[in-house]
Amino acid sequence: MIDEYLRWLPDAIVPWPDVVPVTIPEHFRARWIFWTLMSPAAVGWLVAYSLAFLRGRKDKCVGVPALLVAVNFAWEFNLSVILDQDTTQRHINFSWALFNIFIISQVVRWGHKDHPNLTRRNFLWAFVAMFVWASFMVVYGTIEIGDFPGTYTGTIINIPLSWAFITMLKSRGSSAGQSMYIAIAKMIGSMGAAATVYAEFPGHNLFFVLFISVHILDAVYIRMLYVQIRKEGHSPWAWNRPTVPHYADAPRTKDAAQDAPSAPPARTETMEHAK
């Protein structure tokens, strides 16, 4: 009876589609589409990880936003070791996780530099806590929505990761640990993943919104990084770009007021002339 009185509203503008709001297992999808479009994504991220590790070692800092490394690793580890997954995607995830271990070694050594309000010990605890929290989110999120390839969780994670690159650049105030090739490889990886999802899961429009957000953030970061490197007097495309020290490693100087010799009071000088 009550329901009849509540039916005075017109039909909704956007009705529920017939598309199931979850992804489907690999045996229902064309493998040639996956390998054609996903290969650039797999290679792009592996190149980004490798270059980030090398640049981070040169500048003695982390080339990927430190706390987001925990979230990224949680997705790769849990969707290759903990959860049963698509065979092909599982091997790609595991290869990413292996490369990420090298980045984690730099996080343990230098990650605290980007968080000056935390001691090194507290930062490491925060990193572990982030990994544990992200692991629960990935595992239960994947299971509850039936996201077999982990596409939803992986795409959502990519948004704060892209944003974190921008904030890392701004907070450091330099291109330390970063390069144009890392940024471009990351963008290629994300674009390859987007093309794969668009082709394999048509009608899932949320992916369109999520990936467009990632692409915009990546483009903004590339532009900001290009300007920053030029500002530092170097070519953004130079492979042998000189070392850029992290601001935490910059030598600290005393306050200018303390260094300057104190001048005698004017009143004293006047009194001496009077004598």
Mean pLDDT (whole number) for 154-174: 96
Residue with tokens 């992290």: 246
| Cβ-Cβ contacts under 8 Å for 1 (sequence gap 6 or more) | none
Residue with tokens 């949320």: 206
Mean pLDDT (whole number) for 97-120: 96
pLDDT of res. 263? 43
Q: How far apart are CA 54 and CA 31, in angstroms?
A: 34
Mean pLDDT (whole number) for 218-227: 98
Tell me which residue of 150, 146, 158 sits closest to 211, measured CA to CA.
Answer: 158
115-145 pLDDT, tens digit each: 999 999 999 999 999 999 999 999 999 888 8
Q: Taking 60 as the threshold, does the pLDDT of residue 262 lie above it?
A: no
166-175 pLDDT, tens digit each: 999 999 999 9
The length of the chain is 275
Neighbours of 102 (CB within 10 A): 15
Q: How far apart are CA 159 and CA 207, in angstroms?
A: 12
What average pLDDT does the chain have?
Answer: 86
Q: How far apart are CA 67 and CA 114, in angstroms?
A: 10
Q: Are 106 and 56 in contact (CB under 8 A)?
A: yes
Q: Which contacts (CB < 8 Å, 24+ apart) does range 223-231 have?
A: 224/166, 224/169, 224/170, 225/169, 225/175, 225/178, 225/179, 225/180, 225/183, 226/180, 228/169, 228/174, 228/175, 229/175, 229/180
Q: Are 80 and 138 in contact (CB under 8 A)?
A: no
Q: Taking 50 as the threshold, does the pLDDT of residue 275 lie above it?
A: no
Find the distance separating the first CA and the last CA of the chain, reported in whole Å. 107
Q: How far apart are CA 37 and CA 34, in angstroms?
A: 6
Give the DSSP letter string of 47-61: HHHHHHHHHHHHHTS
Give the DSSP letter string of 243-265: P---GGGSPP---HHHHSPPPPP
49-78 pLDDT, tens digit each: 999 999 999 999 999 999 999 999 999 999
Tell me which residue of 248, 23, 236, 3 sits closest to 143, measured CA to CA.
Answer: 23
Q: How far apart are CA 73 and CA 70, in angstroms?
A: 5
Mean pLDDT (whole number) for 263-272: 44
Q: What is the pTM of this model?
A: 0.84
4-18 pLDDT, tens digit each: 666 676 776 767 667
Q: How far apart are CA 196 and CA 201, in angstroms?
A: 8
- Please state which of the ranges 84-88, 110-114, 206-210 shows the lowest mean pLDDT: 84-88
| Cβ-Cβ contacts under 8 Å for 158 (sequence gap 6 or more) | 190, 193, 210, 214
- Please state which of the ranges 21-35, 64-78, 91-105, 249-263 shows the lowest mean pLDDT: 249-263
pLDDT of res. 159? 97
Mean pLDDT (whole number) for 167-194: 96
